[in-house]
Amino acid sequence: MSALWFFGENGSRFQGKGWERKGRNSDFRELSKSLVRVIDAPFAARDRIVIQEINRLTVMRNPTRGALFSEMLCQLFPNYYYVLNRPVLDWFASLDIAFPRGLSKGERYVNRARLLRAALKRADDYPAENLAELDCLIWFASTLSA
């Protein structure tokens, strides 16, 4: 099964070592269904489908719905989605932004992705050109401050 999650000539893969333990109770069939629904979604509906699928996986209590699913989204759509990981969550927590209360997990994820998209669009000469690169910068900055 894990052979399906590896790609490329040099053995690149989604998630670093360790997710095997955290994700061993995951339903990868349902995770894959969600990913296919997002991939097949028309551009104008993609955010709505991402919200629906994150919420569906949340209701199912699928443990890989956060970091792994968002990493797949970020890999496939680097201009639109970020990796939902601790450095990014900590970075959002440090901002002076009031997010709406009562949002579902899917709504919260897409709401933040939209904020990041807008910020990058407005930033001239910023070192990150998309959300995948911004995620790397946030992650790198978090390792320097740790």
- Assigned domain for 10 exists: no
- Assigned domain for 19 exists: no
- Assigned domain for 93 exists: yes
- Where in the sequence is the domain holding 31, given as residue range(s)? 24-145
- Assigned domain for 14 exists: no
- Assigned domain for 5 exists: no
pLDDT tens digits along 72-127 = 999 999 999 999 888 988 888 888 888 889 999 999 999 999 999 998 999 888 88
- Assigned domain for 101 exists: yes
- Assigned domain for 8 exists: no
What integer pLDDT is reported at residue 66 of this predicted model? 74
19 pLDDT band, cuts 50/70/90, is very low
* pLDDT for residue 33 is more than 90: yes
Burial class (CB in 10 A: 0-12, 13-18, 19+), 27: middle
Nearest to 89 by CA among 23, 19, 146, 139: 139
What integer pLDDT is reported at residue 52 of this predicted model? 97
What integer pLDDT is reported at residue 136 of this predicted model? 87
Q: Is the pTM of this model over 0.85?
A: no
How many domains does the chain divide into?
A: 1
Per-residue pLDDT, averaged over 33-54, amounts to 97
- Assigned domain for 9 exists: no
